[in-house]
Amino acid sequence: MSTTHTDRGAPRTNAPWGWTDAHRAQEIAVIGATGAVGRELLELLVQAGHPASRTSTFARAASTIDVAGVEFAVKPMPAASALRAASLAFLCTPSELSLALAPELVAHGVRVIDLSSAYRLAPDVPLVVPEINGRELERSGLLISNPNCTTAILCMPLAVIDRLAGLEEVVVVSFQAASGAGLPGLQTLAAEAREAVGAPATGPRPKSPFAAPLFFNVIPAIAEVDDTGISGEERKVIDETRRILGRPDLVVEVTTTRVPVERCHSVAVHVKTKRDFVLEDIIAALEASPGVAVTRDPHGPRPRECAGADPVYVGRIRAGTRGTRSLCFFAVGDQIRKGAALNALQIAARLRAAP
């Protein structure tokens, strides 16, 4: 494993992420436990010292999964009323399921952190990246929404630049990993890679969640493209970036692409600021920001080396050519961690543990 991405000494992980004995006393339900995000969340809970005996896991069917050496008995999802003993439920589920389930759980007094897109734009539901707008949790109800993975990663450096120089315009191209489409995405990429090198298949091939073969390819749209030409993923990045940064009028131009990378989303970002800045001040502010790691590697950061790490890595930081207020950078974050499970755990850790 290369060390270039920790060349400023940022730790790869901040486990146990503020998870205290009070948090460990809570009964937790992880719904969608067998998926890419659910499994990662279970792994983080294990690392944070949450007892497996206080962790219930649900999916469509019963199974047993081994996560970080701990066996979890997954149960078929029961009626929401059967979960009323849980203090906290993480919904690592498709948005149609979250849409129905979240209000039912809340009605039974269960605090819910939803990782789907179902409630991200609901005005009365906070959409939170703790390092940026964690204060919104102080007045939240029982339902909290976790952002889109690309958006969370993008907003980590953008929030720092906004504080220092004021953002006027953001132009971004994303390079999104196969696992952003969950386990079927990861399994599809692996199956295509085996096929490309003539290796035997290791099992039944899943139905591909992608619009085209991904291996040896780049797909320049994620999710459906609407009649204005904007993809569903691009709409999420625009709307959620504005909401998380508290900048409803921010100009955000985005193209989201799917690339044959297993894990970690990357973004190439070009911003214009409202005020002049000194480049070294921006770099110093990024270095000082929790959850952000700056690399001076001229060929980094790269998804392979960032996989499994907590921070959003930022590199290629340079002045742009569009006047004194233009800045360019490249950022990479593990979208299953900071773009999903880790951010959700950080939200839960910021909340006072429910009795």
Ligand X SMILES: NC(=O)c1ccc[n+]([C@@H]2O[C@H](COP(=O)([O-])OP(=O)(O)OC[C@H]3O[C@@H](n4cnc5c(N)ncnc54)[C@H](OP(=O)(O)O)[C@@H]3O)[C@@H](O)[C@H]2O)c1
Which residues are part of the catalytic machinery? Answer: 149, 265
Q: Please state, in angstroms and rounded to a whole number, the distance separating the CA atoms of residues 344 and 324.
A: 37
Question: Which span sits near ligand X by CB under 6 A: 127-135, 181-189, 217-225, 309-317?
Answer: 181-189
Q: Strands, E, within the chain: which ranges?
A: 28-31, 55-59, 63-67, 70-76, 88-91, 111-114, 143-145, 167-176, 251-258, 265-273, 292-294, 312-319, 326-333
One residue of 10, 29, 97, 237 binding ligand X per CB under 6 A: 97
Question: Binding mask 55-74 vs ligand X (x if CB under 6 A, - otherwise)?
Answer: ---xxxx-------------
Question: Which span sits near ligand X by CB under 6 A: 8-16, 176-184, 297-305, 323-331?
Answer: 176-184
77 contributes a contact to ligand X by CB under 6 A: yes
* Residue whose beta carbon is closest to ligand X: 35
By C-beta, is 183 or 251 nearer to ligand X? 183
CB of 154 to ligand X, least distance (A): 13
CB of 330 to ligand X, least distance (A): 19
Q: Please state, in angstroms and rounded to a whole number, the distance separating the CA atoms of residues 294 and 10.
A: 8
By C-beta, is 240 or 305 nearer to ligand X? 240
CB of 86 to ligand X, least distance (A): 15
Which residue matches tokens 């009626």? 79
Alpha helices in the chain (DSSP H): 21-24, 36-47, 95-107, 130-133, 149-165, 182-196, 232-245, 279-287, 303-306, 342-350
**Positive or negative CA dihedral for 186, 256, 12, 26?**
negative
150 contributes a contact to ligand X by CB under 6 A: no
Inter-residue contact 95 to 116 (CB < 8 Å): yes
Inter-residue contact 69 to 129 (CB < 8 Å): no
By C-beta, is 165 or 178 nearer to ligand X? 178
CB of 102 to ligand X, least distance (A): 12
By C-beta, is 4 or 95 nearer to ligand X? 95
Q: Tally the residues of the chain.
A: 355
35 contributes a contact to ligand X by CB under 6 A: yes
144 contributes a contact to ligand X by CB under 6 A: no
One residue of 46, 92, 165, 267 binding ligand X per CB under 6 A: 92
32 contributes a contact to ligand X by CB under 6 A: yes
CB of 113 to ligand X, least distance (A): 11
244 contributes a contact to ligand X by CB under 6 A: no
By C-beta, is 221 or 327 nearer to ligand X? 221
Q: Please state, in angstroms and rounded to a whole number, the distance separating the CA atoms of residues 160 and 289.
A: 7
Q: Please state, in angstroms and rounded to a whole number, the distance separating the CA atoms of residues 173 and 161.
A: 18
CB of 163 to ligand X, least distance (A): 25
Beta-carbon count within 10 A of 285 CB: 18
Q: Please state, in angstroms and rounded to a whole number, the distance separating the CA atoms of residues 31 and 104.
A: 14
* 228: helix, strand or coil: coil
* 273: helix, strand or coil: strand
Question: Which span sits near ligand X by CB under 6 A: 21-29, 90-98, 271-279, 282-290?
Answer: 90-98
Question: Which span sits near ligand X by CB under 6 A: 20-28, 88-96, 102-110, 347-355?
Answer: 88-96
The site for ligand X (CB under 6 A) is made up of 32-38, 58-61, 77, 92-95, 97, 115-116, 149, 179-180, 182-184, 335-336, 339-340
